[in-house]
Amino acid sequence: MQSEIPTQLRLVPAEEIPLQTIKVCSRPRLSEKEANRVPIVDQIFHCLIMGVLGFAVYWVASHFLMQSVQVEGRSMVPTLQPTENYFLNRWIYSLRDPQPNDIIVLKDPQDKVWEVKRIIATAGESVYIKKGAVYVDGQPLKESYLSPGTKTYAAETADEFICCGENQYYVLGDNRGISRDSRYFGPVRREEIVGKLIH
């Protein structure tokens, strides 16, 4: 039986290990003027991209999120003043339903212009206008936002009684003497409400 020959190791000094040479190609360094030079076509392209993105952001924000609006007319005095600017929250009713006392922007059911009114009653609630007062579900409506002594009268009859159907809202202007509201065109539908006014 042959005896096993032990493996022998020899320490080699580092300077005896051959080094592999790697060739690296280097580009000539550009001058500062050349490095800062951007082709005019690239500048125009970047400006166009930024313009399109800016317009897209503005369009989405103004149609679905928030929009600045100016009040015309005096149907919401004293709460809102003519020519004053307010923000219109267009997305809030995607998160919740319109509530009583919300000041909203709506499309007039008859002539389709934007109007600003206050929600008085919602779906399933009744509105009774009698002798200058407003009753919702038989209870007197507390309206501290009206000017002192303001009376509310029906449009064509001495008294008015109406029930809001599904997805319907009864709206009134705070300046009851001149406001054209649900007393004239009836309850508004949910799809006619544009958003909630922030004041």
Measured CA to CA, the distance from residue 133 to residue 116 in angstroms comes to 21
Tokens of 77: 């005095």
Those residues whose C-beta lies under 8 Å from the C-beta of residue 178, and which sit 6 or more positions away, are: 74, 75
Active site residue 31: no
From the number of C-beta atoms within 10 Å of its C-beta (0-12, 13-18, 19+), residue 165 rates as exposed
Residue 191 carries which DSSP code? Answer: G
Active-site residue, selected from the candidate residues 23, 33, 117, 130: 117
* Beta-sheet pairing, 114-121 with 103-107: antiparallel
Active-site residue, selected from the candidate residues 26, 33, 62, 75: 75
Active site residue 130: no
Tokens of 3: 């005896």
Give the catalytic positions in this structure.
75, 117
